[in-house]
Amino acid sequence: MTLWNGNYPFYPSANACFPFDTTRAVIVAIFLSMLATAIIILPGIRGRGRLFWFLRLVMGLFMGAVILTIQFTRDWETGWVQANTSYKSFSHAVVSADIGLHIGLSGLNITLVGNPVNQINETINYNEHFSWSFDADYDHSYRQGLEKGLPSPILYVAEKFTSQSPCAVHRQYRVSGHYASATLWLAFCTWLISILLFSMSILLHGGYMLLVTATLILFSLLFFFTSRNTPKCPIQFGPLSLKTGYGESFWLTIVTGLLCLLLGLGVIILNSVQPQKLKLIFNLDKRKGAKEAWDKSCLPAEPRCSTQDVVMVPLGEVTATQL
């Protein structure tokens, strides 16, 4: 069999680890561009309202970016193990590699990185994704991996999450991931509504929507928590086992949910206890004061408020001027 462009035909090359998640990069770029635009127009806002407006903008963009980004992340649950393991089926070759498992709401990623990367005349650097979303078939993806001849550690870990596996964790992860994703989409919608209400100066209802957003975020964590705490089959590589724990996305979701909860409660409490301070934070006192000043300056008793300086004199008091 001859080489073509340095590769043997009919054998796909390794699916190497991509340096970053493109979906996450696009979302972050959009929100950063919105923040940059706000910073450009920030000097046009005068007084103390500039600081409050900027803080509200940063917190609002942060919450929206997190709620949208964690839908597509794959590090809700992560685990690593460094072990010596067989590389391919029907081969006695043993490699030293770092094996990683990264579970998200719509599937999982299994990474295999050689230590060192170049061993047995090959570059060991794999990152395989197996999806269990509504429009994907996890078992079909696993069979495709068998046909491609993926390394044995990847197939061994992926087999634990198939629907036919004795571990019986596939359905639990799939259902809980779907429910968590649905509640996060609802949280994103309620976040948009809260931003709209705050921009319309309907502060109390905006605080209520922040509480609804926080509730939905915390429910998504509860859904994922149920799958995380199901009994799992051990993933053994010789004497070592691959154990997983909560990842960055899980903890970031907790922080965002608590932030929404505190902000919502703060708005509601200030609205009932000290509404003037709440209006000061949202720059409403200045507008109200300017309106009252305008209304006061335009009273009929003050002639300067009229655009036509007309002196009203009774007709009986009009006298002719002697020439």
Residue 102 in domain: yes
For residue 88, report the phi and psi dihedrals to the nearest 5 degrees.
-130, 160
Residue 191 in domain: no
The DSSP element (H or E) to which 312 belongs, if any, is: none
Q: How many domains does the chain have?
A: 1
Would you tell me the crossing angle of helices 49-69 and 170-199 to the nearest 10 degrees?
A: 160
* Parent domain of 142: 77-170
Cβ 233 vs Cβ 101: under 8 Å: no
Residue 35 in domain: no
Residue 69 in domain: no
Local confidence pLDDT in tens for the 323 residues of the chain: 334 444 434 444 445 444 456 777 888 888 888 888 888 887 777 767 778 888 888 999 999 999 999 998 888 999 999 999 998 877 788 899 999 999 999 899 999 999 888 888 888 899 999 998 888 889 999 999 998 889 999 999 999 999 888 888 888 889 999 999 999 999 999 999 999 999 888 899 999 999 999 999 999 999 998 876 666 688 888 888 898 889 999 999 999 999 999 999 999 999 999 888 888 878 776 544 444 444 444 444 444 444 444 444 444 444 444 43
Name the region of 108 (left: φ>0; alpha: ψ -120 to 50; beta: rest).
Answer: beta
Residue 165 in domain: yes
- The CA distance from 180 to 174, in Å, is 10
pTM of the model: 0.78
Residue 3 in domain: no
Cβ 177 vs Cβ 104: under 8 Å: yes
Cβ 205 vs Cβ 235: under 8 Å: no
